[in-house]
A and B are shown apart, each in its own frame.
Chain A
Amino acid sequence: MTRFVPAIILILLLSLWAFGVNPITGCEIIARGAFGGEVGLSRTLVAMTPLLLTGLGMVIAWRAGMYNIGGEGQYIIGGLMGASVAKLHFGGPGVILLSTGLGGAFYGALAGWLQVKRGVHAAISTILLNFIALQILAWAVTGPLQAPGTTASQTATLEPDQMLARWSNRTDLHSGVLLAILLSFAVWVLLSYTSFGFHLRLTGENPRAARAAMLNADRIRVQAIALSGGLCGLAGGVQFLGTSGVIDVGFNQQWGFLGIPVALLGGLNALGALASSFLFGALMAGTQSLSRSVLGGDLLIFVIQGAAVLAFLAMRRREQANA
């Protein structure tokens, strides 16, 4: 992870320059937006939370050899499931979050089942499922989940007791960030120290050895992508319950996609994802500040992340050549 920091800073400077922004001023704005006092730092942590959760999801799926590119769809389905449960009013944040995880897990498992049983490459099915989820979202917030008595395309606002706890009313920092950090340790333990984690990694790294060890690789793959989808769904839930308490057509902010670079630059390792999600969370909070003075500045995050993954591929190749 630390090896990539210089590369990412270089990419950041280059893309600022290419975008016609003075790199020094740009970095200053980004740094202030990301770390400037209580407000800046809490913005970084709030942006880091969904990145970490979707990133952890990608770590689990990709380690099992399942190319889950459907974090976006799983995030949406999770959020919608949460909104449906919230509408019924029979539980607090815990119950709603659980349902968001289950919703995402179901959507992930669907792609897993398609690959294992029908040979549909997950990289393609998950993308198609993303677009279907987007239409389900648009339909739900103008139909069954629309806030009653309004024409706005959004769900009803959550009750205060359905939202995640906050530390202070000056910032948006919510307790979801703690949940995400705890889960990154849980995923680390799961993958490194349990037999399920070992089987999962074996299935991804060496399917032949997994078969030789009499493992049911298909089943492990479906479980892995279900777990992955669950984490992405939870990301949707945490975002829903932690920030605005409302789901509208713009609910998905590409969090599911951005989890992929987070996981890759974290070396497909849970604790690595923790570090890289902090880095990208800071970049995200910073570029949001930048977008106030430079149109489209917040979109630079995609450029930086795409370039960072390519840098990661090139550097890994060099290491392999040297090894």
Chain B
Amino acid sequence: MLDLLRFAAPVAFASLGETIGQRAGVLNIGLEGMMLSGAYAGMLARQTGNPWVGILAGVAAAILVGLLQLIFVLKLEADQVVAGTAINLLALGVTSASYRKIFGESGELLSIPSISNSVLIGFMVLSVPMLTWLLFKTRWGLALRAAGEYPDAVQASGFSVVKLRLQACLIGAAYAGLAGAHLSIVNAASFQEELTKGRGFIAIAMVTFGRFNPAWAFVASVVIGGAEMLQYRLQAQSIQAPPQLFLALPYVFALLVLVFVGKGGRAPGALGIPYRKEQ
């Protein structure tokens, strides 16, 4: 069970945070870039010998990248998909270029001592009731969800939509950083260019699958983690099938989920729409 949760952790952390952001009305296409930045910074800081420094550095890096994206998404009211895509390109370029510069030509695997970290897993599991409570039982959570449904009404009742979205997205970015750092420090115990390999997008798909509810998004992520674990197990048993079939499994699963969940009836009404204050 702990093994399964460890496999699931990167997608699970990311989708937990992304649920909060999407509930506030922001679709974070840059999630992949934030995870990648978290993974890279985490790997760099892990070299100090203390894994916790690595985890913290990963979170800090993702928050910084998140802030950069949020300047565009919230302050400049830019298109969320365009800004997120730019962040992804930027994160891929900066991490790969600096990785190659520091660690040499190949930019291939670099091993760091692996650790097993049940504290992080514990925090992940605890996050589920914690975020559920924040989102559904507090006044702040109510305002936040309203910011994703009827931003004008929230603004009219004295809240700041921008501030609510900022808070939600920063929580999302911090979780994305945890996801990335967990991936490089615990799961892979290494780094390579584009280590995240689309896990950020899988996490976004899991948020839809989980009906924008932290608990269900978590369950969905564990299923994806299961698919990934299965892929390793099956490969290890050298079954007569192309390995690519298994490698494609999580993506196919995420896509099928989206196809069958369809329009995901419960999507926040103002998801993905930049909020413009009425002048």
B167 contacts A by Cβ under 8 Å: no
**Complex CA distance for A313 and B70, rounded to whole angstroms:** 12
B153 within 8 A of A: no
Closest residue of B by beta carbon distance from A304: B93
Complex interface residues of chain B between 222 and 279 (CB less than 8 A to chain A): 242, 244-245, 247-248, 251-252, 254-255, 258-259, 262-264, 272
Q: Tell whether B104 is near chain A: CB-to-CB under 8 Å.
A: yes
Contacts of B92 in A (CB 8 A): 302, 306
Interchain CB contact under 8 A, A313 and B72: yes
Q: CB distance A128 to B254 under 8 Å? A: yes
A123 surroundings in chain B (CB, below 8 A): 29, 81, 85
Q: Which of A230-263 contact B (CB under 8 A)?
A: 257, 260-261
Is A14 part of the binding interface, using a Cβ–Cβ cutoff of 8 Å? no
Q: Given A67-B81, A123-B81, A296-B99, do A302 and B89 touch, yes or no (CB 8 Å)?
A: yes
Main secondary structure of the interface of A (DSSP, over half): helix
Residue B160 CB within 8 A of the other chain: no
| CB within 8 Å for A300 and B97 given contacts A132-B255, A310-B72 | yes
Q: Which of B93, B104, B205, B242 contacts A303 (CB 8 A)?
A: B93
**Residue of A with least CB distance to B255:** A128
Cα distance A121–B201 in the bound complex, in angstroms? 11
Is there an interface contact between B202 and A128, defined as CB atoms closer than 8 Å?
yes
- B149 / chain A contacts, CB cutoff of 8 Å: none
Chain B positions within 8 Å of A118 at CB level: 258-259, 262-263
A299-B100, A313-B83 known; A124+B258 contact, CB < 8 A: yes
Residue pair A302, B244 in contact (C-beta under 8 Å)? no
Q: Is B2 an interface residue (CB 8 A)?
A: no
Chain B 81-100 per-residue mask, 1 if CB under 8 angstroms from chain A, else 0? 11101111111111011111
Q: How far is the CA of A257 from the CA of B96 in the complex (A)?
A: 15
Contact with A along B16-31 (1 / 0, CB 8 A): 0000000000010100
Partner of B90 from A20, A69, A121, A306 at Cβ < 8 Å? A306
B77: CB under 8 A from chain A? yes
Chain B residue numbers with a CB within 8 Å of A124 are 201, 204-205, 258
Contacting pair B83 A131 (CB below 8 A): no
- Cβ-defined contact, A300 with B93, below 8 A: yes
- CB < 8 Å neighbour of B97 from A264, A299, A309: A299
Residues of B within 8 A of A289 (CB): none
B contact patch SS:
helix
Contact between chains at B97 and A120 (CB < 8 Å): no
B78 sits at the interface (CB 8 A): yes
- Size category of the binding interface on chain A: 35 or more
In the complex, A138 has a CB within 8 A of chain B: yes
- Distance to closest chain B CB from A269 (angstroms): 16
From 117 to 137 in chain A, residues with beta carbon under 8 angstroms from any chain B beta carbon are 118-121, 123-125, 127-132, 135-136
Q: Of residues 282 to 306 in A, which have CB atoms within 8 Å of B's CB atoms?
A: 294-297, 299-306
A64 and B263 CA atoms in complex are apart in Å by 20
Q: Are B78 and A138 in contact (CB under 8 A)?
A: no
Interface extent on B, as a size class?
Answer: 35 or more
B90 in contact with A119 (CB, 8 Å): no
- B76–A314 CB distance below 8 A: yes
In the complex where A135-B247, A310-B90, A313-B82 touch, is A294 in contact with B101 (Cβ < 8 A)?
yes
Report how far A125 CA is from B272 CA in the complex, Å: 16
Residues of A within 8 A of B98 (CB): 19, 296
Q: Is the CB of A257 within 8 A of B262?
A: no
Does B137 have its Cβ within 8 Å of any Cβ on chain A?
no
Report how far A131 CA is from B247 CA in the complex, Å: 9
Q: For B99, list chain A residues within 8 Å (CB).
A: 296
A296 engages B248 (CB within 8 Å) = no
Which B residues touch A135, using CB under 8 A? Answer: 244-245, 247-248, 251
| Residue from A136, A295, A303 in contact with B94 in the complex, judged by beta carbons closer than 8 Å | A303
Q: Which residues of B contact A132 (CB under 8 A)?
A: 248, 251-252, 255
> A147 to nearest B CB, angstroms?
17
Output the residue of A69, A119, A143, A299 with the most chain B CB within 10 A.
A299
What are the residues of chain A within 8 A of B242 when measuring CB–CB?
139, 142-143
Residues of chain B with a CB closer than 8 A to A39's CB: none
CB distance from A296 to the nearest CB of B (A): 3
Decide if B101 touches A114 in the complex (CB within 8 Å): no
Q: Which chain A residues border B82 with CB–CB below 8 Å?
A: 264, 309, 313
Indicate if the CB atoms of B96 and A299 lie closer than 8 Å: yes
Q: With A and B bound together, what is the CA distance between A125 and B68 in angstroms?
A: 25
Residues in A neighbouring B83, C-beta threshold 8 A: 310, 313
Residues of A within 8 A of B264 (CB): 119
Contacts beyond the supplied A260-B85, A299-B96, A314-B72: 8 A-B pairs with Cβ under 8 Å: A114-B259, A120-B258, A128-B205, A129-B255, A131-B248, A296-B97, A297-B97, A300-B93
Residues of B within 8 A of A (CB): 27, 29, 68, 72, 76-79, 81-83, 85-94, 96-101, 104-105, 107, 197-198, 201-202, 204-205, 242, 244-245, 247-248, 251-252, 254-255, 258-259, 262-264, 272
Q: List 17 A-B contacts (CB under 8 A).
A: A19-B101, A118-B258, A121-B272, A127-B201, A128-B255, A139-B244, A260-B85, A261-B89, A264-B82, A295-B101, A296-B98, A296-B101, A303-B89, A304-B93, A310-B68, A317-B76, A317-B77
Interface residue ranges, A against B (CB under 8 Å): 19-20, 67, 69, 114, 118-121, 123-125, 127-132, 135-136, 138-139, 142-143, 257, 260-261, 264, 294-297, 299-307, 309-310, 313-314, 317
